[in-house]
Amino acid sequence: YSGHGFSKMHFKFHGLDTKGFNQWVEKVRSPKNQKLGSEAFLELEKKTIGHRVTYYGGVEDNLYHKILNLCVTPNTICMDEMMHQDKHRAKQAVKHKES
């Protein structure tokens, strides 16, 4: 079991030779397919049932960083930046304590 709607998930397998695979990749990377950006990712991460297959022709620069650092939502500080700030504050606290 993998969540609500799991039993309705059906997947087709397409075995392709190298040429067929390369043609499929070209189709998916087509400029007519939207780019996966922050806004589209936030919609995609919502729980759905029966969502149709969607192809993305590319990925927004820095999207992986935003996902990894939990800051895809606008105006959210990224975890790596928060850790950097915490490290800086800790160093300042030690310096202040020592003086």
pLDDT given at position 61 = 97
Domain-wise residue ranges, the chain: 16-98
The predicted-structure confidence for 35-85, as pLDDT tens digits, reads as follows: 999 999 999 999 888 888 899 999 999 999 999 999 999 999 999 999 999
DSSP single-letter state for residue 3: S
pTM of the predicted protein model: 0.74
Indicate whether 1 pLDDT > 70: no
Quick one: average pLDDT of 1-27?
A: 88
CB 52 within 8 A of CB 30: no
